[in-house]
Structure formats: structure tokens, C-alpha cells
Structure 1
Amino acid sequence: MNRYERRPVAATEAELEYGDGEFRVIRPGSFVRCAVTGVPIPLDDLRYWNVALQEAYASPQAKMTRLGIALP
């Protein structure tokens, strides 16, 4: 393996620090869990999170549910 090849990441839960528009990997892994539904979210698909609560969400609906906003 050379320095340009990515090491395979084990199918374990990652620990992230969520920031504004980006996140930092604290503990490597391949997914995080949605704070509302508990479903695993692959890191490549992670689009929604809350910086203040440091939580990830699987969808915009999950985030709205967490914030207590009813959807039509």
C-alpha cells in the first residue's frame, strides 16, 4: 500500500465532531447513526446534522422531527 491508497475502513460506527458545513472524524468508521431513527448513515451519504446538539440525521424529515417541527 502506498501513501495515495486509502486504507479500508472497518464497518464500525464512527465518532464525528460536527461543524458548520463540515465534520471532523474523531474515531474512524464507516457510518454514524441517525439520532432520531437509529438507522446507520454511511459517511459518504451524511448531509444533515445539528452542530449545537452534535447529532446526525438520516433525512431532512428526521431533522425536522428532532426540532419539533411538524411536516405537512
Structure 2
Amino acid sequence: MLMNSGEKAATLIYGPNGFRVVKPGHFVTCAATGEPIALEELRYWSVERQEPYATPEAATRRLLDLA
């Protein structure tokens, strides 16, 4: 996904059923891959680690890396 250079990163608090925007922005950065994730495409995150993930595979990779 290409991000416009004028778009800013958001700060979120991740909960078990959704997330809350603390600082408005257009995207967050995947904790496993470093790629930007548009907020409307964000589906995977860790409540415990408060991290977003681009894909289920990225979430699994991050979990295994931290184990």
C-alpha cells in the first residue's frame, strides 16, 4: 500500500474488540514487517503487546519471534 507523504501515523490503544484513536492519523506501522497499514484496513493486533500487524502471518511471525 502506498501512503501519501502528507499522511501522518496514528496512535491507537488496542482493545479486544476494536481500537481507540489517541492521536489522529491515517495509518499505523506493522510491528512485524514495518509496512504502513491504513486504519480502514487494520484487522490484526495484540492487546497484550499493543502492536498492530498487517496480516495474520505477520502476527504469527511476531509472536514466534518474541517467544
State whether TM-score is above 0.5. Answer: yes
Report the number of matched residues.
60
Could you list the structure 1 runs, at least 4 aligned residues long, displaced by more than 4 angstroms after superposition. Answer: none
Matched, 1:52 2:52: no
Equivalent in the alignment of 2:28: 32
Extract unaligned runs of 5+ from structure 2.
1-5
The structure with higher relative contact order (CA 8 Å, sep 6+) is 2
TM-score of the two chains, using structure 1 as the length reference? 0.80
CA RMSD between the two structures: 1.3
Name the structure where strand makes up a greater proportion of residues: 2
Equivalent in the alignment of 2:38: 42
TM-score of the two chains, using structure 2 as the length reference? 0.86
Shift of residue 21, structure 1, vs aligned partner: 1.5
Extract unaligned runs of 5+ from structure 1.
1-9
Within 2, Cα distance between the matches of 1:45 and 1:21? 15
